[in-house]
Structure 1
Amino acid sequence: MNFKYLYFVILSISIFSISSYSQEKNISTIRIQGNKKTKTSALQKLTSLKEGNVLDSLQIEEDIKRLKRLPSIAHAYYQVVEKENGYELVYGVEENFTIIPGANVYTTNDDEFAFRLMLSEFNLLGRNITLGGFYQNDIYNSYAAQIRAPFLFGKKFGLAFNFQSLTTEEPVFLENGTADYKYNNTSYELLGLYQFNLRHRIELGLNYFNEDYQYKTGATSPEVPQDFNVDKLLYKLIYEYNNLNFDYQYVSGFRSVLNAQYVISTEDVLPDFFIWWNDFMYFKRVGKKGNWANRLRVGLASNDDTPFAPFAVDNNLNIRGVGNTIDRGTGVIVLNTEYRQTLYEKNWFVLQSNVFVDGGSWRNPGGDFGDFGDSQNFRLYPGVGLRFIHKKIFNAIFRIDYGYGVTDDSTNGFVFGIGQYF
C-alpha cells in the first residue's frame, strides 16, 4: 500500500469536512409578518437574533416569549425556511387592539359603591408606548395620567412618568373609635426602566407628592390633628423576575415582584417610614382548559403606632368582598388562589369561570408579629366569578367576582373590573 497516497486521501477528507462545517448555514434573512399598527423596527429592536447569526432555536423561543408579553401582540410564532445562501427566519405576530376603555366597580352589602373609568393606548405610535389615564368616583372625584415607554432608548432602557390626584374618604382607626377623613394625594413620579434580560428587570425613581387630610365625622383624639397638609418625597425600587409564558388566556410559570419605598415627610405628625412588599405568583395549566393561579403577598413597613398605617384591607387590592378600606396595618400576608376553567371558546370570545379563596392577616400599627395569628386580624373570603374575554384586544377581560366572608364580622359583595384580579 502506498502510505503517501493514503495520507493524502485522509488529509483531503479532513480538509473537506472542516470546510463543510465552517460553511454551516447562518441566518440570511429575518422577516416579521402580521403586524399592521406595530412598527417593524420596534419589533426588530426586541429580537435577539440578527442576520448573519447562527440559527439558535433556544434563542428563537426566547424572542417569541418576549413578543407575546408585549401589549400590542396577542400571539407570536416563527417559521424557518432553508435557502441556498442560508436560513430565512420569519417571526409571525397576531396583533391586539390596544386602545382600551376600562371600568372597575365594587360594592358590599353595606351599600358602598365606587367606580373607576379608564382609557389607555398601549401601542402609541406603534412602538409599545403606553399613554392612559382614569377617572374615579369613590365618594369624591379623582383622576390620573401616565406615559410609559419601556424601550425608549433601545431594547433595555426606558422611562415612565405618572401623575395622580386621588381623593377618597379614608377611615382612621383611633383607640376610642373610627374617624372618617377626606384624603387627597397629588403626586408626580418619574421612573427609569431597565431590563437586564428577558426574566429580570428593575425600576428606579422618585415620587414627589402632597397628602391632605380633612376630618369629616367620627371619633377624635387630641394626638391626631383634624386637618393637616404635608409634602413628601418617595424613593422607589421595583425588581421583577418574570418567567411567565402566555397562550392567549392561559398563563404558566412563576413571577416575583418586589416593591420597596422610602418616604421622607416634611411634618413630624407623619414620620419618615420604609415599606416593602413582594408578590409571588405561580400559574399552572391544568389539562387543556384549566388554569390554576396563585398570588402570595408578604409585606412590612416601619412599625409606627399611627392611625395612618400604609397596608389597607380593601376589595380592589387583596380580599374580594371585604369592602373599601376597612382596616389598616404595618404588615401584611395575603394569599389569593383561584382555579380558572374555560367554559366556552369560539374564535375571539372566551367565557371562563372562576372559583377562588382570598385570605390574609395584618399586623396592627405598633404591634408585633403575633398579630398575624390573631383571629381579629384574619379574614377569609371564598367566592366565585366569571370572565368574559376577547382574545384579540389587550387585557380585554371583564371580570365579575362575588366574595363571601366566613370569618367573624364579615361582609360580602361583588367586585367588577377589567383584567384578571392578579
Structure 2
Amino acid sequence: MKHLVLALFFIVNFQTAWGQYRVADVKVQGNNRTKTAFIKKIVRLKPGMELDSVLIEQDINRLKRLPSVSHAYFQVFSAMEEGEYNVFYGIEENHTLIPFANVYTSNNDEFAFRVGLQEFNFIGSNITLGAFYQRDVFNSYGFHLRAPYLFSNTIGLAVSYQNLRTQEPVFLEGGTADYRYTNKAFEVMGLFELNFKNRFELGINFFNEDYSYLFGETDVNVPQDLNVDKYLLKLIYNYDGIEYYYQYLSGFRSTLNLQYVHSTSSMLPEFIIGFNDFTYFHRVGERGNWANRLRLGLSSNMDTPFAPFAVDNNLNIRGVGNTIDRGTAAIVLNTEYRHTLVDKDWFVLQTNFFVDGGTWRNPGGDFSDFGKSQNLRIYPGVGIRLIHKKIFNAIFRIDYGKGITGDSAQGIVFGIGQYF
C-alpha cells in the first residue's frame, strides 16, 4: 500500500508539469493464465503517451472488472531516458473454471435447480464459455460464448443457445392452468464499449415457444396447445460506476434492456418490453456493505395469460415460489445489508439481512394495480455467503425469505454469486 500511495503521489505531481513526462513502456506482472498481449490490448495507457494518473486509475479499475483478475495495482519506475517512466500493472489472478448451481424451494414442495460449468478466461483472453443443465419438472440445457474484446479493445461478440422446458402456471379468470412450456432460442449480440463506464449490446434472438396443456382450469379463449415462431431485437445499455475491492462494492450502476418481439401468432402478439435495473452499493465501516437494486419494467399492456414479467423465487423475490404470478409492468426493490464476519487471505464468511418487495400491473390492467394488496409482495429474510477470494464469482449463497403480505409463502434459495 505504501508503494501505491507513493506512486500515486508521484504521478499526480507529474500532472502539474503536463507534457513533461512520458511513458517509456507498459509492463504486466503477476499474470499466469491471462495473456500479457491481452492485458496490453485492453488498457488505454500506451508507450509514448503522457503519464496520466486518471488514465492509470481507469486502467486499474478496468482490470479489476475482468473475470480473471481478483485484484490489480500499479507501480512507476524511471526509465533509461530522462523524463520517461515505465508503468507496471500488477495482476492477482482468479481461478476461472467454475461450476455453478442455483437451487430453490418453497413451502409448496417445489424444487428446481440449475447446474453448469463456465470458463471465464478461455485461451487467456477473458472469453466466457459455458453450459448448463436445468431441472424444473422437465429437463433443459444451453450454452453460451461471450468475447467482449474479440475484435478490438472496444468491440466483441456474444452467442448463445438454450432449450428451456418448464412447467409454467397460466393465470385464467376461472383459476390456474399448468402448461409445459418449451423455449428454443439462438441469440447473437454485438458488444461495444464506448468508454470506461458506458457499454452497449445490440443483437437479435430467434426463438420458438411451445405451450402444451397439462392440467388445471381451461378457458375456451385460451388454446391448450400453442406453437409460435418469434424473433426479438434487443438493445442493452450499461452504465457502470462501481468500484471493486474484493467482495466490497461501492458506487452506482444502471442497466437498460429494451426489446421488440415479433410473433407469427395473434395468440402471442408482438410487443415491446423494457426494464431498467438501478443498483447502488455503499461501504459501511470496514466490513459492511449496503446493496440495493430497483427494477422498473414496462411492456405492451396485453390482456394475455402469458404476460412477460414473472414473480419468481430465483429472479426477484426470495422465498416467494417458482413463477407464482405474471404482469405487464413491475416495480421491484431488493435491499440488503452484507456484513463480513470472517475475512482471511482466501476465504470470506459473510451474512446478510434483506427485504425483497415488489408489485405488478395485471395483464390488461392499469397502473392503479400497483397499489392493490393482492399484487404486493414483501419478503424479509436472512442469508449467508461463503466466498473464495481467489476464484471468480465463487460466492455460495443461501437465503431464506418469508412473506409478510397476504397469501405469502416461505422458502430457501441457494445459488452461486450474489443475488444481485
Q: Identify the TM-score tier after normalising by the shorter chain.
A: over 0.9
Match in the other structure for 2:49: 53
- What does 1:305-344 correspond to in 2, within 5 Å? 305-344=303-342
- Which deviations, in whole Å up to 9, do the C-alpha atoms of 1:100-124 show, x marking residues without a partner? 0011100011111001001000000
Q: Which of the numbers 59, 62, 65 marks the counterpart of 2:61?
A: 65
| Structure 2: runs of 5 or more not aligned | 1-16
RMSD (CA atoms)? 0.9
- 2:320 and 2:416 mapped to 1: Cα distance? 19
Amino acid at match of 1:153: F
Match in the other structure for 2:373: 375
For residue 30 of structure 1, report the CA deviation from its aligned partner: 1.4
Q: Which of the numbers 374, 388, 392 marks the counterpart of 1:390?
A: 388
- What does 1:207-222 correspond to in 2, within 5 Å? 207-222=205-220
- Which deviations, in whole Å up to 9, do the C-alpha atoms of 1:339-374 show, x marking residues without a partner? 000000111000000000000000000000000011
For residue 28 of structure 1, report the CA deviation from its aligned partner: 1.0
- What does 1:219-230 correspond to in 2, within 5 Å? 219-230=217-228
For residue 25 of structure 1, report the CA deviation from its aligned partner: 2.9
Q: 1:240 aligned to 2:246?
A: no
- What does 1:196-211 correspond to in 2, within 5 Å? 196-211=194-209
Q: 1:83 aligned to 2:79?
A: yes
- 1:346 and 1:162 mapped to 2: Cα distance? 37
Match in the other structure for 1:257: 255
- 2:383 and 2:26 mapped to 1: Cα distance? 44
Percent of aligned positions with the same letter in both sequences? 64
For residue 82 of structure 1, report the CA deviation from its aligned partner: 2.1
- 1:65 and 1:307 mapped to 2: Cα distance? 45
Q: 1:415 aligned to 2:399?
A: no
- 2:364 and 2:226 mapped to 1: Cα distance? 22
Match in the other structure for 1:15: none
For residue 75 of structure 1, report the CA deviation from its aligned partner: 0.4
Q: Is the 8 A contact 2:105 2:413 kept in 1?
A: yes
- 1:162 and 1:95 mapped to 2: Cα distance? 27
Q: 1:295 aligned to 2:296?
A: no
Q: Which of the numbers 31, 35, 47 marks the counterpart of 1:35?
A: 31
Q: Is the 8 A contact 2:141 2:162 kept in 1?
A: yes
Q: Is the 8 A contact 2:130 2:145 kept in 1?
A: yes
Secondary structure of residue in 2 paired with 1:143: strand
Amino acid at match of 1:108: S
Secondary structure of residue in 2 paired with 1:63: helix
Secondary structure of residue in 2 paired with 1:45: helix
- 1:184 and 1:378 mapped to 2: Cα distance? 29
- 1:353 and 1:22 mapped to 2: Cα distance? 47
- Which deviations, in whole Å up to 9, do the C-alpha atoms of 1:20-61 show, x marking residues without a partner? x79833111211000000000101011111111111111100
Secondary structure of residue in 2 paired with 1:246: strand
Match in the other structure for 2:9: none
Q: How many residues align?
A: 402
Structure 1 residues 65 and 215 mapped into 2: Cα distance closer, same or farther (>3 Å)?
Answer: same
Match in the other structure for 1:156: 154
For residue 246 of structure 1, report the CA deviation from its aligned partner: 0.5
For residue 133 of structure 1, report the CA deviation from its aligned partner: 1.0
Match in the other structure for 2:193: 195
The 4+ residue runs of structure 1 with deviation greater than 3 A are none
Match in the other structure for 1:17: none
- 2:201 and 2:78 mapped to 1: Cα distance? 41
For residue 84 of structure 1, report the CA deviation from its aligned partner: 4.0
TM-score between the two structures when normalised by the length of structure 1: 0.94
- 1:213 and 1:49 mapped to 2: Cα distance? 53
Q: Which of the numbers 345, 348, 356 marks the counterpart of 2:346?
A: 348
- 1:118 and 1:174 mapped to 2: Cα distance? 35
- 1:387 and 1:168 mapped to 2: Cα distance? 28
- 2:366 and 2:388 mapped to 1: Cα distance? 46
Q: 1:96 aligned to 2:94?
A: yes
- 1:231 and 1:35 mapped to 2: Cα distance? 46
- 1:390 and 1:64 mapped to 2: Cα distance? 21
Amino acid at match of 1:286: V
- 1:387 and 1:380 mapped to 2: Cα distance? 22
Match in the other structure for 1:141: 139
Secondary structure of residue in 1 paired with 2:42: coil
- 2:323 and 2:46 mapped to 1: Cα distance? 51
Secondary structure of residue in 2 paired with 1:44: helix
For residue 296 of structure 1, report the CA deviation from its aligned partner: 0.1
- Which deviations, in whole Å up to 9, do the C-alpha atoms of 1:142-162 show, x marking residues without a partner? 000000110011110011101
Amino acid at match of 1:409: D
- 1:23 and 1:151 mapped to 2: Cα distance? 30
Match in the other structure for 2:401: 403
Q: Is the 8 A contact 2:19 2:50 kept in 1?
A: no
Q: 1:184 aligned to 2:177?
A: no
Structure 1 residues 270 and 91 mapped into 2: Cα distance closer, same or farther (>3 Å)?
Answer: same
Amino acid at match of 1:28: A
Match in the other structure for 1:18: none
Q: 1:273 aligned to 2:271?
A: yes
Amino acid at match of 2:150: L
- 2:168 and 2:55 mapped to 1: Cα distance? 50
Amino acid at match of 1:154: S
Secondary structure of residue in 2 paired with 1:111: coil
Q: Is the 8 A contact 2:383 2:397 kept in 1?
A: yes
- Which deviations, in whole Å up to 9, do the C-alpha atoms of 1:286-344 show, x marking residues without a partner? 11100000000000010000000000000000000000000000000000000000000
- 1:66 and 1:294 mapped to 2: Cα distance? 23
Amino acid at match of 1:352: Q
